[in-house]
């Protein structure tokens, strides 16, 4: 540091990039484009990667030791109960009263949304 700089009170920081302000001045109105995970994975698949390189599409997660949470088919709340006749899950007695009054085609629709299409007569 020079004696002239000390007299002015200015210090030159080693970590500061001199061209940083110039980069911001060049692109003041440019908005940042965000990518979804699906876009990132498709872009990664199109690039040539070495065999041992780890990226999003190569990561395999082990199965969970915890049982999956069950949610109500009607409200989406945590469902501790299942109707034995229709196999629909419900959270409280009001939902159960609603399930009893549902016709079979709507019940089958709820089960199809959840992916459990087998009905127990």
pLDDT number for residue 92: 94
| Domain span at 118 | 68-121
pLDDT number for residue 30: 66
* Distance of alpha carbon 76 from the chain centroid: 18
pTM (2 d.p.): 0.48
Q: Please check whether residue 5 is in contact with residue 11, taking contact to mean a CB–CB distance below 8 angstroms.
A: yes
Whether 95 maps to a domain, the answer reads yes
pLDDT number for residue 45: 80
- Nearest to 113, CA basis, from 64, 84, 79, 76: 76
Q: Distance between CA atoms of 78 and 75, rounded to whole angstroms?
A: 9
pLDDT number for residue 121: 45
pLDDT number for residue 23: 53
Whether 87 maps to a domain, the answer reads yes
Whether 20 maps to a domain, the answer reads no
What lies within 8 Å, CB to CB, of 113 at 6+ separation is 73
SS3 assignment for 72-88: CCCCCCECCEECCCCCC
Domain count, the chain: 1
Whether 78 maps to a domain, the answer reads yes
How high is the mean pLDDT in each 10-residue block of the chain (121 residues)? 55 63 58 81 82 73 86 93 93 94 92 75 45
Whether 85 maps to a domain, the answer reads yes
């Amino acid at each position: 540091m020079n004696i002239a700089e000390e007299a002015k009170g200015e210090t030159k920081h080693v970590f500061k990039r001199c061209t940083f302000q110039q980069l911001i001045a060049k692109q003041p109105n440019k908005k940042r484009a965000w990518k979804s995970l699906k876009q990132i994975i498709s872009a990664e698949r199109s690039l040539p990667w070495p065999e041992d390189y780890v990226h999003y599409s190569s990561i395999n997660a082990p199965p969970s030791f915890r049982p999956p949470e069950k949610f109500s088919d009607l409200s989406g709340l945590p469902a501790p109960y299942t109707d034995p006749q229709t196999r629909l899950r419900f959270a409280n007695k009001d939902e159960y009263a609603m399930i009893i009054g549902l016709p079979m085609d709507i019940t089958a629709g709820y089960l199809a949304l959840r992916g459990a299409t087998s009905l127990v007569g």
